[in-house]
Amino acid sequence: MAIIPTGLPAWTRTATHTNYGGNVNKRNYLSRGAIDALTDVGAEAICRLAADLEAIARTAPFATITYLNDDGASAPPIIETVYMMTGVRTTSYTGGAAPTGYPSAARNSDGDCTFTFASSYSDAYGVAGTFAIKHAIVSVHGTSVGEGVVDILTTTTLRVRLFNGASALQDKRATLIVW
Amino acid sequence: MPLGLFAPLPLRLGGSAEEGWSAADHARVCADLVLLKKSAPLAVWTFTKVGATVTIHDYYGLNGAGAVYAPDDISLIGTGAVGFNWSIRLFEDPYQVVHPLSAKHGKVSGHGSTSLRGDVVVVANGVSVYTFNGAGAAADGKATVALW
């Protein structure tokens, strides 16, 4: 029977060091430390690992996405690269035809699209955790003035608008980071 | 008593993939954890500023998640400008190990349907955030701040 990890996946931001084996009263058996640092892992090391993992799991982005608006054809944006807690995709795809497990994206107008995530994802052990967008940052690529704004529409949808230097919507390449 | 057999800790590395933890697997965990620690965001939060009212939404930080861990010293600098500082700039982990919080990098990104850009100034106890509209004028609004 497969093991079921304690706690919920990192994107739920609920894990504590105890989910990783930490405990403030943890101690080595008979208070004896590691005999050989090359072969043994002591309670102190487990607790440091657990506390640090708890900390970085809280602030790690859920997804980093670089995409390109495809307004020339009034088509969904091209998702070029996705780094997600649940997977990495370096082969581009059309926002309207997202591979399983990756966000889709739909065009609203020039420089304006909406990303849709799933409401739940599963980790490597099949443990499902609810996903809800809380924060997002967008940065425009290119050699001319540009900027973007995000608008969290629901817990799973996020609208991104990209502007040129005159604050007019314009198709651009951008990187979106979602927590 | 042999370690890792009857005694829970110290754990002796080795054994099978199903009941043990090999030195190679442990080394990969250590290496990856250390590299993640080097680049992990220090904190991220979204805020709304409307006049003299500043609201922080859903703070995530290395020091904890939730309002109690967010910057508690919020100063109004002016229109579109607000300072987020920790009055006690210390991070205490679950084992009461304490170390100062120290932001080195910052990034702000606007929310909404119209242009809103932002700058950050990293200061000793936190960060000052400045947001501007599409015309480059200081403007209140909603934005996400990320610190490293």
Report pLDDT digits (tens) over B51-75: 999 999 999 999 999 999 999 999 9
**B15 or A1, greater pLDDT:** B15
On whether both B63 and B115 belong to a single domain, the answer is: yes
Contact A135 B44 (CB under 8 A): yes
**A115 or A38, greater pLDDT:** A115
Which distant-in-sequence residues (6+ apart) come within 8 Å of A31 by Cβ? none
On whether both B66 and B133 belong to a single domain, the answer is: yes
For this complex, say whether ipTM is above 0.85: yes
pTM: 0.93
Asked if residue B6 is part of any domain, the answer here is no
A8 at the B interface (CB within 8 A)? no
Chain A partners within 8 Å of B39 (Cβ): none
Nearest CA-CA distance, residue A137 and chain B, Å: 5
Asked if residue B4 is part of any domain, the answer here is no
Contact A135 B115 (CB under 8 A): no
On whether both B121 and B84 belong to a single domain, the answer is: yes
Asked if residue B116 is part of any domain, the answer here is yes
The pLDDT tens digits for A124-144 are 999 999 999 999 999 999 999
pLDDT score at B3: 54
Could you give the count of Cα atoms lying within 13 Å of A176 in the half-sphere of its Cβ?
36
The pLDDT tens digits for B6-52 are 566 888 898 888 888 899 999 999 999 999 999 999 999 999 999 99
Residue B2 — very low, low, confident or very high, per pLDDT cuts 50/70/90? Answer: low
Contact B1 A24 (CB under 8 A): no
- Chain A interface, best mutation among B1, B3, B9, by max A CB count within 10 A: B9
Contact B60 A51 (CB under 8 A): no
List strand residue ranges (DSSP E) for chain B, in order. 11-12, 43-50, 53-61, 64-65, 73-78, 81-85, 90-92, 98-100, 106-111, 116-123, 126-133, 141-147
Chain B partners within 8 Å of A51 (Cβ): 93-95, 97
On whether both B116 and B87 belong to a single domain, the answer is: yes
Contact B93 A161 (CB under 8 A): no
Chain A partners within 8 Å of B111 (Cβ): 136, 149-152
Domain that holds residue B81: 43-147
Contact A39 B1 (CB under 8 A): no
Chain B partners within 8 Å of A30 (Cβ): 1, 7
Asked if residue B20 is part of any domain, the answer here is yes
Supply A140's token pair: 């425009």
On whether both B29 and B56 belong to a single domain, the answer is: no
On whether both B51 and B122 belong to a single domain, the answer is: yes
On whether both B92 and B138 belong to a single domain, the answer is: yes
How many distinct structural domains can be found in chain B?
Answer: 2
Mean pLDDT, residues A17-26: 93
Closest to B79 measured CA to CA, from B23, B21, B129, B20: B129
For residue A152, the surrounding DSSP H or E stretch is: strand A146-152
On whether both B73 and B126 belong to a single domain, the answer is: yes
**B19 or B100, greater pLDDT:** B100
For residue A72, pLDDT over 90 is answered with no
Question: Helices marked H in chain A — which ranges?
Answer: 43-59
Mean pLDDT, residues A8-14: 95
What CA–CA distance (Å, rounded) separates B95 from A149? 39
pLDDT score at A131: 98
Residue B1 — very low, low, confident or very high, per pLDDT cuts 50/70/90? Answer: very low
On whether both B34 and B89 belong to a single domain, the answer is: no
Would you say A177 and A64 are in contact if contact means Cβ atoms under 8 Å apart? yes
Mean pLDDT, residues B73-94: 95
Chain A residue with CA closest to B41: the answer is A59
Asked if residue B53 is part of any domain, the answer here is yes
Asked if residue B2 is part of any domain, the answer here is no
On whether both B66 and B128 belong to a single domain, the answer is: yes
What backbone torsions phi and psi does residue B62 show, to the nearest 5 degrees? -60, -30
